Amino acid sequence: MKDEILSELKFDKQGLIPAIAQDVDSGEIRMLAYMNKEALEKTIETGWVHYYSRSRQELWKKGATSGNLQTFVDMRLDCDGDTLLVFIRQQGVACHTGKRNCFYRRLNIEENKWEETDSVPPASFAAITAELERIIFERDKQRPSGSYTTHLLEGTEEKSAEDLVLEKLGEEMTELILAAKNDTEDLLAEEAGDLIYHLLVMFRQKNIPLSRLAQVLQERRG
């Protein structure tokens, strides 16, 4: 790594800098750890996120033991030069406790205590659609009986899975247009939600990740 890049970083007395890992698809903050110069270099060289363990005092590749690897996507440096924001794609969970992220304890102001939660704050559109994509992926792999998603992915004797989903997309688009013309805000939002869900199922059928759609929208920004 070039000295010009390292010179912008303000490592602490132990040669470490905080690194916040953020899911590039959902915007979810997954964890906070520390990097030293070697961890930073390994991350950029290999494409797998590496950190430095303060407790073990050694370099570690995230997920090397658990399989919960982090793919390196991008990196930002804050205005003071003393904190890194690392954009990642997470395989599995991020926290060693088995939680999705390390920030799973929520402050309950009314009861004056910390409580565990599985929710992803804030409930942003990106976070919700990323979670929905994950659930559809799991349904595709497991194919649980009684699941509507399983029904769409398997099709029927009369219709292939592709034809079934495309037909549903057409129906939902028609209902969305009618809601936009004639109905309330609540119904319009519901119909839009139905359309997005079926769109994600089609993306799963075509093996297209949601990140590809995000990439297209990003390219068209402005």
Kindly report, residue by residue over 87-99, the tens digit of the pLDDT: 999 999 999 999 9
Residue 41: φ, ψ to 5°: -65, -45
Cα(123)–Cα(53) distance, integer angstroms: 31
Which residue, among 149, 161, 157, has the nearest Cα to 194 in the 3D structure?
149
Which residue, among 40, 44, 47, has the nearest Cα to 17 in the 3D structure?
40
Residue type, 170: G
Mean pLDDT across 57-81: 96
> What share of the chain has pLDDT > 70, as a percent?
97
Q: Is the pLDDT of residue 172 over 70?
A: yes
- pLDDT grade, residue 28 (50/70/90)? confident
Q: Rg of the chain over CA atoms, in angstroms?
A: 22
Q: Is the pLDDT of residue 120 over 70?
A: no
DSSP for the chain, written as a single string: --HHHHTT----TTS-EEEEEEETTT--EEEEEEE-HHHHHHHHHHSB-EEEETTTTEEEETTTTTS--EEEEEEEE-TTSS-EEEEEEESS-SSTTS-SSS--EEEETTTTEEEE----SS--HHHHHHHHHHHHHHHHHH--TT-HHHHHHH--SSS-HHHHHHHHHHHHHHHHHHHHHHS-HHHHHHHHHHHHHHHHHHHHHTT--HHHHHHHHHHH--
| The predicted structure's pLDDT at residue 58 | 96
Cα(15)–Cα(35) distance, integer angstroms: 8
CB 86 within 8 A of CB 30: no
| The predicted structure's pLDDT at residue 124 | 73
CB 124 within 8 A of CB 27: yes
- pLDDT grade, residue 30 (50/70/90)? very high
Cα(139)–Cα(161) distance, integer angstroms: 14
Q: Is the pLDDT of residue 122 over 70?
A: no
Mean pLDDT across 148-156: 96
| The predicted structure's pLDDT at residue 131 | 82
- pLDDT grade, residue 182 (50/70/90)? confident
Mean pLDDT across 57-66: 96
Query: What is the set of domains in the chain, with CATH numbers?
Result: 3-93 (3.10.20.810), 125-220 (1.10.287.1080)
| The predicted structure's pLDDT at residue 177 | 95
| The predicted structure's pLDDT at residue 130 | 83
Supply the mean pLDDT for the chain.
Answer: 92
- pLDDT grade, residue 121 (50/70/90)? low
